[in-house]
Amino acid sequence: MSYATLMVYVEVDGHPKNRVTLATEVSDKFKSTLIGLSALAIRPLFLDETFNSDKVSGADIEQMKLKLARKGDWFQRLARTEHGKVAWRPLLEFPIDVISREARCADLIVLGRTKTAGDEYSSLDPGAALLRIGRPTLIVPDAVSSLRADHVMIAWKDTREARRAVSDALPFLHSARHVTVVGICETEDGDSVSKQLDDVADYLGRHGISGDPRVIADRGASAAEQLTKLAHKEGADLLVAGAYGHSRLGEWFFGGVTRDLLAGSPICCLMSH
């Protein structure tokens, strides 16, 4: 099992050099095709509260196409993989719609952790994308430019999303030197969590992966904070976790761990919804 195709989102007005460098490294690791994706949506022009389609063309659109082309040239120069399989997809549509649709051709999506400045016409909300694309998503902090994934930590919770994330992470888990399966529990559910972690470790073992189950007591801090502190202490640079959330009345609502990891995780997170 591997990732045959990676897709990295490249915002036109951002500076995603570290993310593209990391995506190139991961692409080389798995000998994957690397697709760079970028999008800008055409802003409608309203005259007397009526859309004037004749005005949404010409010089402004050509300028948008030029910006995308220049970003594509930049991406192609930076994303020089050892195997040479690199592609660029620029589209004049809303970024969230583009990533949600184009993700169909990739095994793994690489996104920045934070939303860049701008509105829905030019920037991508990684949280909203994560819950829509239906693909495992590697969330990359802005300052991170490399991912060895020698020590992978799994944040276990007995949910559909966590089970999906473990399965989606198998290529990383196979290549890791050390895999830790972590469950946070209160005193009264320690035995139950321990059994769950043993089951996950057995599942990994049947895939030829040695997983170290680890039950940690809830210390009162947020689960995300406890997980990232443990990851830092033990030298893990990839955290695998389920992504929890839903949309209501056009707004996205996230579970506490998902929200906190998107807001502040200092290491890469592979998340599935």
* CATH code of the domain made up of 5-140: 3.40.50.620
pLDDT classification of 59: cutoffs 50, 70, 90? confident
Tell me which amino acid residue 126 is: P
Cα–Cα distance, 123 to 13 (Å, whole number): 8
Per-residue model confidence (pLDDT) at position 245: 81
Q: Are 271 and 242 in contact (CB under 8 A)?
A: yes
Q: Using CA atoms, how far apart are residues 134 and 14, in angstroms rounded to an integer?
A: 25
Q: Per CATH, which fold does 151-272 belong to? A: Rossmann fold (3.40.50)
**CA gap 268, 202 in Å, rounded:** 25
Q: Which pLDDT does position 244 carry in this prediction?
A: 86
pLDDT-based confidence at residue 102 (cuts at 50, 70, 90): very high
Encode pLDDT of 245-271 as tens digits. Answer: 866 545 555 668 888 899 899 999 999
Does residue 95 carry a pLDDT above 90?
A: yes
- Looking at residue 6, what is its pLDDT? 98
CB atoms within 10 A of CB 111: 27
Model confidence at 222, pLDDT cuts 50, 70, 90, reads confident
pLDDT band at 40 (very low <50, low <70, confident <90, very high): very high
Fold agreement (5-140, 151-272) = yes
- The pLDDT score that the predictor gives to residue 270 is 98
220 pLDDT above the threshold of 80: no
CA distances from 100 to 13, 140, 169, 239, 258 (A): 20, 18, 20, 23, 19
Give the pLDDT of residue 117.
76
pLDDT digits (tens, 9 = 90+) for 159-185: 999 999 999 999 999 999 999 999 988
Tens of pLDDT along 111-134? 999 887 778 999 999 999 999 999
**For residue 96, pLDDT beyond 90:** yes
Is residue 47 predicted with pLDDT exceeding 60? no
The domain spans of the chain are 5-140, 151-272
Cα distance between residue 97 and residue 120, in whole Å: 10
Residue 124 · residue 93 · CB < 8 Å:
no
Segment 95-113 mean pLDDT: 97
